[in-house]
Amino acid sequence: MKYIKYLFINVIACLLFSFGANAQNLGLKKQVWPDKYLMQTNTLVAALKKPAAAKPAIYNIGFVGNIQGAKKLAAASKEAGLAQLRSELKGKPKASAVVIYCGCCPFEHCPNVKPAFTMLQKLGYTNVKILNLPTSIKADWIDKGYPMAK
């Protein structure tokens, strides 16, 4: 009976380990940012293509190239970058539509998005979105043919 119990525990452990490995191979991972904080790339592209549509203020807070309509700021991982972002938004209504992005690396490793987003929330901005670039700007924007600044 004791042998069967240990066998059963080992089988369960192997199955759980195998499932975890398969989930990683399938690209299944915990989402870093809840959907309510994200702007999908196709949503932003659609807004950029409509000449009469109100456009959000778009800020590049990382080390990557500028997408169309974005303003390049210093990296938000440093106080100088956060100060620059604060300065850009000074005097704008707290309900202004703001989109921030980095795209240097996968969200879970990005040093720029979290400090910028957290600061904007603390300052009372209520309509801030993170451009959903979960892998990188190359994979999630450029490779899809979305517009870059010229």
Q: Which class would CATH give 31-144?
A: alpha beta
Q: What is the mean pLDDT of residues 115-122?
A: 97
Tens of pLDDT, residues 21-48 = 344 444 445 678 999 999 999 999 999 9
Kindly state the tokens that stand for 47: 């807004």
- The residue extents of the domains of the chain are 1-29, 31-144
Convert the pLDDT of each residue in 55-85 to its tens digit.
Answer: 999 999 999 999 999 999 999 999 999 999 9
CA distance 97 to 100: 10
Question: What gap in Å lies between CA 150 and CA 69, rounded to an integer?
Answer: 10
Q: What pLDDT digit, counting tens, does each position of 77-114 carry? A: 999 999 999 999 999 999 999 999 999 999 999 999 99
Q: How many Å separate Cα 88 from the centre of its chain?
A: 20
